């Protein structure tokens, strides 16, 4: 059996083929390459801290685990503490985005409850990131550079809770005798403590059960109108 002849391409077909667009890969800008490198190093740092704690992290290992040279992390971050603070901030920003998605269409006491509920959804970012974040919070007491970053996270959290409580008081949904700032600090500290316990013992801490009880407790204790138990 002879070879099958190739189909001849007519002049019209040749013109169409020549006119077909050719995909050209756009070269990434320096800013894009830097952003990707930093993101990968922050993820690598979270993995290392989750495994070894804040004292086990080195700039060299973060760069190497991210797939770069051992010296690149030192080029982007001036010190290990700066890398730790940046890593914690990135995780904190992820929590913030997650929380904002849950607040759509809420107001008053319901908005406060949704914000608290979002804190219990933090494990969705992954146990590795949660371990790394809690490790930074717990290690900040002995590291001034980290203490400043963690203090900022704490202030932001308390400020947001305070604003939500004040707004719900104004709307008549939370008791007027509640001190918004004090209650905000209590809520923020309680939630941090609960999540720290879960990170240390995820099998032994019933996060779903604590979540339901905590949300009910907050609603009953703050509501202007008694909520049936």
pLDDT (tens digit per residue) in 43-70: 999 999 999 999 999 999 999 999 988 8
pLDDT one-digit tens code per residue, 100-159:
888 888 899 999 999 999 989 888 888 899 999 999 988 888 888 789 888 998 899 999
CATH fourth-level superfamily of 81-222 = Tetracycline Repressor, domain 2 (1.10.357.10)
pLDDT at 25: 66
Lowest-pLDDT choice from 96-110, 168-182, 192-206: 96-110
Contacts of 165 (CB under 8 A, 6+ apart): 112, 174, 178, 180, 183, 184, 222
Residue 223's nearest CA partner among 126, 82, 110, 118 is 110
- In this prediction, residues 24-34 reach a mean pLDDT of 76
- In this prediction, residues 15-31 reach a mean pLDDT of 63
Lowest-pLDDT choice from 7-11, 34-38, 198-202: 7-11
Sequence length of the chain is: 229
Residue-range domain boundaries for the chain: 81-222
Which of residues 143 and 160 earns the better pLDDT score?
Answer: 160
C-alpha 199: how far from chain center = 15
Lowest-pLDDT choice from 18-22, 95-99, 168-172: 18-22
Query: How sure is the predictor about 195, in pLDDT bands with cuts at 50, 70 and 90?
Result: very high
**Tokens 């070879």 label which residue?**
3
Average pLDDT, the chain: 86
Which of residues 26 and 153 earns the better pLDDT score?
Answer: 153
CA–CA distance, 150 with 85 (Å, rounded to integer) = 8
The CA radius of gyration of the chain, in Å to the nearest whole number, is: 26
């Amino acid at each position: 059996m002879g070879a099958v002849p190739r189909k001849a391409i007519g002049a019209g077909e040749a013109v169409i083929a020549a006119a077909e667009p050719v995909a050209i890969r756009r070269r990434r800008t320096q800013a894009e390459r830097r952003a990707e490198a930093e993101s990968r190093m922050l993820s690598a740092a979270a993995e290392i801290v989750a495994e070894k704690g804040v004292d086990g992290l080195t700039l060299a290992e973060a760069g190497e685990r991210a797939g770069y040279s051992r010296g690149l992390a030192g080029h982007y971050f001036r010190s290990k503490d700066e890398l730790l603070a940046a890593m914690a901030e990135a995780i904190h920003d992820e929590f913030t985005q997650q929380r904002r998605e849950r607040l759509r269409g809420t107001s008053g006491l319901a908005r406060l409850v949704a914000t608290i509920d979002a804190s219990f959804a933090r494990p969705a970012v992954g146990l590795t990131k949660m371990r790394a974040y809690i490790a930074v919070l717990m290690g900040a007491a002995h590291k001034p550079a980290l203490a400043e970053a963690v203090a900022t996270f704490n202030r932001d959290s308390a400020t947001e809770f305070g604003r939500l409580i004040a707004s719900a008081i104004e709307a008549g949904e939370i008791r007027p005798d509640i001190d918004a700032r004090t209650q905000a600090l209590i809520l923020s500290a309680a939630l941090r403590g609960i999540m720290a316990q879960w990170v240390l013992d995820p099998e032994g801490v019933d996060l779903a059960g604590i979540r339901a009880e905590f949300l009910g407790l907050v609603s009953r204790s703050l509501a202007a109108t008694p909520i049936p138990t």
